[in-house]
Amino acid sequence: MSISEDAAGGGAGSIARPRLEASSPRYGEKLIRALLGLCALVSVATTLAIVISLLVPTIGFFGEVPFVDFLFGTDWAPTFADATFGVLPIVIGTLTVTFWALVVAIPVGLLSAIYLAEYAPSRVRRTIKPVLEVLEGVPTVAIGLFALYFLRPLFEDVLPFLPWSGPFSVGVAGFAVGLMIVPLVASVADDAMRAVPSGLRQGAYALGAGKMTVSLRVVLPAAISGVVAAFVLATSRAIGETMVVLLAAGATPQMTFPWQVTESVQTMTAFIGTTATGDIATGTITYDTIFAVGALLFVMTLIMNMFAIRLVRRFREVYE
Amino acid sequence: MSKSLTKLLAALFAAGILAFGLAACGGDDDGDNGATTAGATGESGSEGELTGTIRIDGSSTVAPLSEPAAELFMEENPDVTVTVGTSGTGGGFEKFCAGETDISDASRQIDEDEEGACAQNGIETEEVAVANDALTVVANPENPVTCLTVDQLAQVWGPGSQVNEWGQIQGLQDAPDAELALYGPGTDSGTFDYFTEAVIGEEGAQRTDYNNVGEDDNATVTGVSGTEGGMGYFGYSFFVENEGTLKALEIDNGQGCVAPSPEATQDGSYAPLGRQLFIYPSNEALQRPEVLAFIEFYIENATEIAEAAGFIGLTDKQKATAQRTVDGLAG
Amino acid sequence: MSPVSGGPAGRTRLATAGARAATVGALAGNGRRDRFAGAAFLALLLLALTVALTGLASLLIWAAIEGAPRLNIGLFTEGPSSLSPETAGYRTAILGTVYVIGGVIALIVPLGVGAAVYLEQFADRSRWWNRFIELNIQNLAGVPSIVFGILGLAFIVRGPFSLGFVAAAASMTLALLVLPTVILASREAIRAVPPSISEGSMALGATRWQTVRRQVLPAALPGILTGVILAVARAIGEAAPLLMVGAVTFVTVDPSFFEGGYSTLPVQIYNYATRPQEVFQVLAAAGVIVMLVVLLAMNSFAIWLRNRYEREW
């Protein structure tokens, strides 16, 4: 139920409904509305720019490489002499890393947020939350090196029964990415839960509910839109992460599924990252793979986001 | 909000301001924030001192050479500013041919498409060698093998190779009973291009089932030194830094086993894995006195610069060739 | 509309659901088992928090130990040096980072909050173009940073803006990268302000903009600041897109906004980390510590501001 009807829009105004807008057309208001709308349009302009900068080389690319070969091929070797352009290995690589990252980030982040919002005394919360957020500012380079030189040997010590070989591991890389986005999930979810009116909480407590029930059955559902926003942000971040996977997951494009934790893998972002700053000549088909993969990534996140928006809307309907 | 937290945050903020202040005021402001467009003409100062800005960009392999060169040059010419970027050989050429940089660092030679793009913008250039490098094949120190022929290397690394154990390499004495664990550089790197061209005969022709370490050759060090059957290859400087934990294999190109070393690379006996590293100055940039002076300085002091970066210096003959190329470009 | 502010029907339904859950829990549950479950839940929460803090703390400790040999004042005052890395410092990179991130903040705060305000308060949700903008923003949040590097090179360094390889171009590129984060977080914050506040204000005759400016924004400030803090943290750590947009890895001259070469801390750290010499590895680890100091300084003001304005409804 939106009360944002434009003052200028209702020309033949009916008399039945009281309007909360001013009765005279305030031009300052309209100007401000236009300016704010422009701010929102920046995002559209950005997307347009991305599409344009990706589109032309991508079209050139598909002129040379058949679309089906690209999308369904399982051999990704575009920089070799006998080039093959089957993109599936790096897509699976991205999905595997994202899977492990979310397995770590969502439980840890959400539970931490519940603690911070519902259980923690205010002094504890006010120190821990900024600490978590600052830790999110650790450069991704450092996290990648940390994963490579510290986490990988640690994991081998803790889980010696897995088939470790070589310094790269998709599981370790995924864990590192997950750890990196925990502050993101925790902070946004915490803000969402804190914003739930305390009237709802107090009412439930008054009825004799325990803290766990209130947190899980009252506050969490009320904050669901913010919590899902946190998850979507986290997933987007995990998919788009470049540096950590570049350093810790390696660059071997093989079909590595989530249960093959110890294998090396190359994600789409790592591929774009190395190739764009590598020694390949620009303007060649090999270089144009960057744009094709970038376009694919863009489309994938678009589809994922469309799903997410529909999902959130359904959640909201339950509670409205 | 609690007082102690306020104080802590205030202290942190103050510390940050202090750091910023130290950074901004500490150290000397050498050089000037002058014009950066590559086309600007530098002017000599009143006492014949050079001024201006020189932009270098390109391979991250050659950057460890260009950076010391820039530093040493700026010590003698404090009014010149030299910046070095690492967009990669390809990215560097793209900016170079668009006239946005003065010198391009390259770990491979410029290719036809790039030359065409440069010609379209009226930029002429030619390669100037600034250092030698020995591509070193390394193995685990426990490995009894000391020498491989080029043919054996091709057996192992060739496209579609089925060799998965050391014992499967033909003609190899005292091969260890271990599985081959291969580590190689990113397939977009000049090292990869050179190795495949030299060993297999075709650029980019290599088996695809190996551990690709991407950007970070240090990972090859970790991998090979930690696996009994490890084998990898990278530039000489990485071997020199890790001599304790790795063993360099000698390469037999038909004339006996030769170990990688500065001497062997310079006299050409370490074949075919000895390579040169290049910079590409543009004829336009060379019209500016500071750029010309920098390139000549670079060539003249190539030996010191290469040693500072862990590479192998130029021979006198190579220096002479380089100087001639520069003279030709400068016109 | 969020469930909380979904009007009287929404809140009644939520309250009813909560009441039902509470009553069912109280009546049907076994008292002692419930208490045990509650305690187990708390333990789980603390475990999660500990994992998060330990994981991140160990990263810091690792970086501190690796970089300890080089932690001294020189790290802040000296410029970069390949010849003598033992005395090299991050001066130009620190200044570059401060300039670039300063520019980012100057861009994302007005643009991000403006867009969020428009979408939440002024836009008619039933119009397709507003939904399109929403989808757009959410999608941009997942585009990998390197694609923004490509975008920046094509449109900001060259193309319509033609700024060249300068710090301002980096600021704009990074601002576009983190703008969705700010918009999404600000939207949630604005959404969470109880509608009774804005309805009451407008009932008293204020215009929508006056209401937004004087009531909604101050109330939503903590959430907005969270978005800005997260955005800055993300932007400060980016290396790959900046390499494409022209950040150099070696510059000895202090940067300026619209001209001259510049470098930033992560670009410098990445450069050092891939060198073979041990001394560079140590320098890279020390650089991480420097980065955290700079980040802390930049965020501490926002954190203080957020703590001041936080309130419970």
CATH number for A133:
1.10.3720.10
Does A128 reach chain B within 8 Å, measured CB to CB? no
Residue of C134, C155, C244 with shortest CB distance to A276: C244
> Could you tell me if residue B34 is inside a domain?
no
Beta carbons of A221 and C139 less than 8 Å apart: no
Q: Which residues pair with B103 in a beta bridge?
A: B56, B281
Do B154 and B98 lie in a common domain? no
Beta carbons of A250 and B212 less than 8 Å apart: yes
Beta carbons of B15 and C293 less than 8 Å apart: yes
Beta carbons of B216 and A284 less than 8 Å apart: no
A134-143, A170-179, A242-251, C9-18: segment of lowest average pLDDT: C9-18
Q: Which chain B residues have a beta carbon less than 8 Å from that of A256?
A: none
For residues A221-238, give the mean pLDDT: 83
Does C287 reach chain B within 8 Å, measured CB to CB? no
Beta carbons of C143 and A3 less than 8 Å apart: no
Does C259 reach chain B within 8 Å, measured CB to CB? yes
Sheet containing B52-58: order of strands: B80-84, B52-58, B103-106, B274-281, B128-134
Structure tokens at A153: 């040997």
Which whole-number Å values give the CA distances from A119 to A111, A124, B323, C38, C280, in the listed order? Answer: 11, 10, 73, 12, 45
Beta carbons of C139 and A187 less than 8 Å apart: no
Beta carbons of A198 and C194 less than 8 Å apart: no
Distant-in-sequence, close-in-space partners of A67: CB < 8 Å, separation ≥ 6: none
CB B172 within 8 A of CB B148: yes
> Could you tell me if residue A99 is inside a domain?
yes
Do B56 and B95 lie in a common domain? yes
| CATH number reported for the structural domain that contains residue C238 in this entry | 1.10.3720.10
Residue of chain A with shortest Cα separation from C155: A49
**A161-186 per-position pLDDT tens digit:** 887 777 888 888 999 999 888 988 99
Decide which of C42, C70, C98 is a domain's last residue. Answer: C70
The model carries a pTM of 0.80
d(CA B122, CA A219): 67
* Alpha-carbon distance B288 to nearest alpha carbon in chain C (angstroms): 18
**C67-119 per-position pLDDT tens digit:** 888 788 878 888 888 778 788 888 888 889 889 999 999 999 999 999 999 88
Q: Which chain B residues have a beta carbon less than 8 Å from that of A77?
A: 187, 208
Reply yes or no on whether the pLDDT at B150 is more than 60.
yes
* Alpha-carbon distance A120 to nearest alpha carbon in chain B (angstroms): 15
Sheet containing B247-248: order of strands: B211-212, B181-184, B230-234, B136-139, B247-248
> Could you tell me if residue A313 is inside a domain?
no
**B303-328 per-position pLDDT tens digit:** 888 888 888 888 888 888 888 888 88
Q: Number of folded domains in chain C?
A: 2
Does A270 reach chain B within 8 Å, measured CB to CB? yes
SS (H, E, C) chain B: CCHHHHHHHHHHHHHHHHHHHHHHHCCCCCCCCCCCCCCCCCCCCCCCCCCEEEEEEECCCCHHHHHHHHHHHHHHCCCEEEEECCCHHHHHHHHHHCCCCCEEEECCCCCHHHHHHHHHCCCCECCEEEEEEECEEEECCCCCCCEEEHHHHHHHHCCCCCCCEHHHCCCCCCCCCCECEEEECCCCCHHHHHHHHHHHCCCCCCCCCCEECCCCCHHHHHHHHHCCCEEEEECHHHHHHCCCCCEECEEECCCCEECCCHHHHHCCCCCCCEEEEEEEEEHHHHCCHHHHHHHHHHHHCHHHHHHHHCCECCCHHHHHHHHHHHHHHHC
Reply yes or no on whether the pLDDT at A317 is more than 60.
no
CB A2 within 8 A of CB C5: no
Interface residue of A82, A279, A289 to substitute, partner B, most B CBs within 10 Å: A279
> Could you tell me if residue B89 is inside a domain?
yes
Do C64 and C76 lie in a common domain? no
Decide which of C41, C70, C99 is a domain's last residue. Answer: C70
Q: Which domain holds residue A200?
A: 91-268
pLDDT for residue A139: 79
- Exposed (0-12), middle (13-18) or buried (19+): which is B76, by Cβ within 10 Å? exposed
> Could you tell me if residue A4 is inside a domain?
no
Of A106 and A319, more confident = A106
Do B107 and B74 lie in a common domain? yes
Residue of B90, B107, B183 with shortest CB distance to A281: B90
Q: Phi/psi of residue B239, each to 5°?
A: -70, -45
Beta carbons of A81 and B1 less than 8 Å apart: no
Reply yes or no on whether the pLDDT at A102 is more than 90.
yes
Do B144 and B268 lie in a common domain? yes
pLDDT for residue B24: 60
d(CA C288, CA C265): 8
| CATH number reported for the structural domain that contains residue B245 in this entry | 3.40.190.10
Strands B52-58 and B80-84: parallel
Q: Which domain holds residue B302?
A: 52-132+276-330
Residue with tokens 């590595």, as numbered in its chain: A256
Decide which of B247, B272, B297 is a domain's last residue. Answer: B272
> Could you tell me if residue B312 is inside a domain?
yes
pLDDT for residue A105: 92
Beta carbons of A279 and B189 less than 8 Å apart: yes
Beta carbons of B31 and C79 less than 8 Å apart: no
Q: How many Cβ contacts (< 8 angstroms) between chains B and C?
A: 167
**B179 band by pLDDT with thresholds 50, 70 and 90:** confident
Residue of A46, A237, A243 with shortest CB distance to C239: A243
Reply yes or no on whether the pLDDT at B9 is more than 80.
no
3-state SS assignment for residue A259: coil
Beta carbons of A191 and C179 less than 8 Å apart: no
**C296 band by pLDDT with thresholds 50, 70 and 90:** confident
Cα–Cα nearest to B83, from C288, C156, C259:
C259
**A16 band by pLDDT with thresholds 50, 70 and 90:** low
Residue with tokens 């790096």, as numbered in its chain: A90
> Could you tell me if residue A180 is inside a domain?
yes
Structure tokens at A51: 């599409």
d(CA C166, CA C248): 10
pLDDT for residue C156: 87
3-state SS assignment for residue C53: helix
> Could you tell me if residue B38 is inside a domain?
no
Hey, which residues 74-133 in chain C have their CB within 8 Å of chain B? Answer: 76-83, 89-91, 94-95, 98
Residue of chain B with shortest Cα separation from C275: B218
Residue of C94, C253, C300 with shortest CB distance to B30: C253
Does A123 reach chain B within 8 Å, measured CB to CB? yes
Do B218 and B164 lie in a common domain? yes
**C143-163 per-position pLDDT tens digit:** 888 888 888 888 888 878 888
**A254-278 per-position pLDDT tens digit:** 777 777 777 788 888 888 887 877 7
**B25-78 per-position pLDDT tens digit:** 554 443 333 333 333 333 444 445 788 889 999 888 888 889 989 989 998 888
Q: How many Cβ contacts (< 8 angstroms) between chains A and B?
A: 129
A114-128, A203-217, A285-299, C19-33: segment of lowest average pLDDT: C19-33
Structure tokens at B251: 């390469």
Amino acid letter for position C308: R
Amino acid letter for position A251: A
Q: Number of folded domains in chain B?
A: 2
Beta carbons of A243 and C183 less than 8 Å apart: no
Q: Which domain holds residue C257?
A: 71-309
Q: Which chain B residues have a beta carbon less than 8 Å from that of A289?
A: none
Cis? peptide before B144, omega within 30° of 0: no
A19-28, A292-301, B25-34, B209-218: segment of lowest average pLDDT: B25-34
Q: Which chain C residues have a beta carbon less than 8 Å from that of A43?
A: 115, 133, 136-137, 140, 179-180, 183
> Could you tell me if residue B24 is inside a domain?
no
Do B261 and B190 lie in a common domain? yes
Structure tokens at B175: 């091969």
**B227-253 per-position pLDDT tens digit:** 888 899 988 888 888 888 898 988 888
Beta carbons of A134 and C292 less than 8 Å apart: yes
Q: Which chain B residues have a beta carbon less than 8 Å from that of C259?
A: 33, 35-36
Distant-in-sequence, close-in-space partners of C255: CB < 8 Å, separation ≥ 6: B33, C92, C95, C96, C99, C167, C261, C262, C263
Average pLDDT, chain B: 81
Do C134 and C62 lie in a common domain? no
Beta carbons of B91 and A276 less than 8 Å apart: yes
Beta carbons of A281 and B111 less than 8 Å apart: yes
Q: Number of folded domains in chain A?
A: 1
Residue of chain C with shortest Cα separation from B6: C304
Residue of A28, A53, A304 with shortest CB distance to C151: A53
> Could you tell me if residue A259 is inside a domain?
yes
Q: Phi/psi of residue B210, each to 5°?
A: -135, 170
Reply yes or no on whether the pLDDT at C236 is more than 50.
yes
Do C102 and C175 lie in a common domain? yes
Decide which of C29, C44, C70 is a domain's last residue. Answer: C70
Does C37 reach chain A within 8 Å, measured CB to CB? yes
Reply yes or no on whether the pLDDT at C2 is more than 50.
no
> Could you tell me if residue B15 is inside a domain?
no
Residue of A1, A37, A203 with shortest CB distance to C1: A1
pLDDT for residue C129: 80
Give the length of chain A: 320
For residues A33-40, give the mean pLDDT: 87
CB C166 within 8 A of CB C257: yes
